Amino acid sequence: MSLPGVLDVLEGWDGIGVVMRHDPPTGTWIFVALHDDTLGPTTGGCRMKVYDRPEDGLADALRLAEGMTQKWAAMDFPFGGGKSVLAVSRPLEGDERRGLLHRFGELLNALGGRYGTGADLGTTTEDMQTIAEVSEHVIGVHGRSEGPMDPSPFTALGVFEGIRTALRHRFGSDDPAGRTVLVEGVGSVGEPLAERLSGAGARLLVADLDRARAEAVADRLGAEVVTLAAVLTTACDVYVPCAVGGTLHEESIPRLRCAIVAGAANNQLAAPEAASALHGAGILYAPDYVINGGGAMAFASIYLGMDDLDEVERRVRGISVSLDEIFAEAAVRGSSPVAAAQTRVARTLQRGPR
Ligand code: NAI
């Protein structure tokens, strides 16, 4: 890693700072980016990836940490923005991987709670359990011995509540009964979400890259399968992206035949301008980083010591309150909900912790 490269990446970044460390046994560069702790301790996932240059891993950590500040603030949740990147020189397995994760856990201990980590791209909940063997600064584990947890059902619950809020703003009633919803991607989040929607009486359409999976879910829930090619042009009340990001862009938006886009996928907007394009097309868009925060919220609550799962679920359902305020503000201003969410982030950070 070159010093000028690092300095270039850091120049202009407005975060608290970055802890950088090299791990000689695996040749990994470890970056822990602490962006903002106005609302609480910095918290965000740990990404493990082979980058062309370690500096690219640092740049990723900075960008993602800033994103976490916005995510927590938009949900008005008492955490700050942070993210870590393990820029590995090659894929690691077995003892090598465990060793790195343990040394990373010791670094977290040295930070004394200023940053808490969780699973992200390239790391698994099992990896988090490994880190938890040496450090308590890990979210998404039941404790040191009981094993990892799955965030997806909580994410699905948050998206379900978010869809209801969007329905109320668009149609005056939050009742999904009789509404046509198209769930794209019936995986860990999409399937339990489809189940909730179907249970609430929605007319369910499903699509998945894995056709057999789509058919199995459709059979079980009495849904109809839509081909991938037809997803964007199928008439529905709510398009629910729960697969990959980047599906909303200047070519896809004019083809959409839905009233609402509200789903779990990360980074649904291919570019920031897509938010105003959706607004211009009269489609109500639930900002992804607000509506898909249920898993993170649940894990963070448990990490803070909340052990009553009903209470955790109540908090996750609170995503509907954040979205409600965002939609209401967007309506008053005549702006896209994304613009309203950004204003809310700035205001919440200025206000400070509750
Ligand atoms: P998953 O991998 O369990 O499920 C994804 C499903 O989408 C799979 O069934 C897969 O076959 C299908 N799929 C993949 N590419 C597709 C395509 N191009 N078109 C249609 N279907 C496709 O993933 P998971 O955990 O359900 O996450 C879904 C999305 O939600 C991802 O974008 C993820 O980043 C995001 N997300 C997930 C959270 C969670 O708690 N699991 C939390 C926040 C965001």
Token couple for 271? 């570019």
Residue 63 Cα to ligand 1 midpoint, Å, equals: 22
- Give the strand pairing for 238-241 and 260-261: parallel
Q: How far is CA 11 from the centre of its chain?
A: 27
Which of 3.40.50.720, 3.40.309.10, 3.10.290.10, 3.40.50.970 would CATH assign to domain 152-351? 3.40.50.720
Number of the ligand 1 atom closest to the C-alpha atom of 245? 32
Residue 79 Cα to ligand 1 midpoint, Å, equals: 25
- Could you tell me if the CB of 228 is within 6 A of ligand 1? yes
DSSP 261-306: E----S--BSSTHHHHHHHHTT-EE--HHHHT-HHHHHHHHHHTT-
Instruction: Kindly list the distances between the CA atom of residue 286 and the CA atoms of 84, 161, 333, in Å, as whole numbers in the listed order.
Output: 27, 11, 16
**Residue-wise pLDDT tens digits, 6-15:** 899 999 899 9
Number of the ligand 1 atom closest to the C-alpha atom of 244? 32
More confident residue, 130 or 143: 130
More confident residue, 147 or 218: 218
Which one of 47, 71, 75, 152 would you pick to mutate in the ligand 1 pocket, going by the greatest count of ligand atoms within 8 A of its CB? 152
CB 77 within 8 A of CB 300: yes
Flag whether pLDDT at 305 surpasses 90.
Answer: no
**Residue-wise pLDDT tens digits, 85-125:** 999 999 999 999 999 999 999 999 999 999 999 988 899 98
Helix pair angle (337-351, 54-74), 10° resolution: 90
Averaged confidence pLDDT in the chain: 94
- Return the half-sphere exposure (C-beta side, CA atoms, 13 A cut-off) of residue 163: 33
Residue 233: pLDDT band (50, 70, 90) is: very high
Which one of 154, 196, 244, 319 would you pick to mutate in the ligand 1 pocket, going by the greatest count of ligand atoms within 8 A of its CB? 244
**Residue-wise pLDDT tens digits, 37-76:** 999 999 999 999 999 999 999 999 999 999 999 999 998 8
Pick the residue whose CA is nearest to atom 17 on ligand 1: 209
Rounded Cα distance between 288 and 274, Å, is 13
Instruction: Kindly list the distances between the CA atom of residue 217 and the CA atoms of 153, 163, 197, 246, 324, in Å, as whole numbers in the listed order.
Output: 16, 20, 13, 24, 30
Q: So what's the pLDDT on residue 306? A: 85
**Residue-wise pLDDT tens digits, 165-175:** 999 999 999 99
**Cβ neighbours, 10 Å, residue 217:** 23
Domain boundaries, the chain: 3-70+77-132, 152-351
Q: So what's the pLDDT on residue 200? A: 98
- Could you tell me if the CB of 120 is within 6 A of ligand 1? no
Flag whether pLDDT at 146 surpasses 90.
Answer: no
% pLDDT > 70, the chain: 98
Number of the ligand 1 atom closest to the C-alpha atom of 213? 9
Pick the residue whose CA is nearest to atom 9 on ligand 1: 187
Q: So what's the pLDDT on residue 171? A: 98
Fold of 3-70+77-132: Rossmann fold (3.40.50)
Residue 193 Cα to ligand 1 midpoint, Å, equals: 12
Number of the ligand 1 atom closest to the C-alpha atom of 155? 40
Residue 265 Cα to ligand 1 midpoint, Å, equals: 6
Domain pair 3-70+77-132 / 152-351, same fold = yes
Residue 134 Cα to ligand 1 midpoint, Å, equals: 30
Rounded Cα distance between 129 and 138, Å, is 8
**Cβ neighbours, 10 Å, residue 24:** 7
Residue 286 Cα to ligand 1 midpoint, Å, equals: 17
CB 254 within 8 A of CB 281: yes
Flag whether pLDDT at 148 surpasses 70.
Answer: no
Instruction: Kindly list the distances between the CA atom of residue 330 and the CA atoms of 44, 171, 262, 284, in Å, as whole numbers in the listed order.
Output: 28, 16, 16, 10
- Could you tell me if the CB of 215 is within 6 A of ligand 1? no
Point out which residues pair with 88 in neighbouring strands. Answer: 50
Flag whether pLDDT at 271 surpasses 70.
Answer: yes
- Could you tell me if the CB of 119 is within 6 A of ligand 1? no
Residues marked as catalytic: 83
Q: So what's the pLDDT on residue 143? A: 60
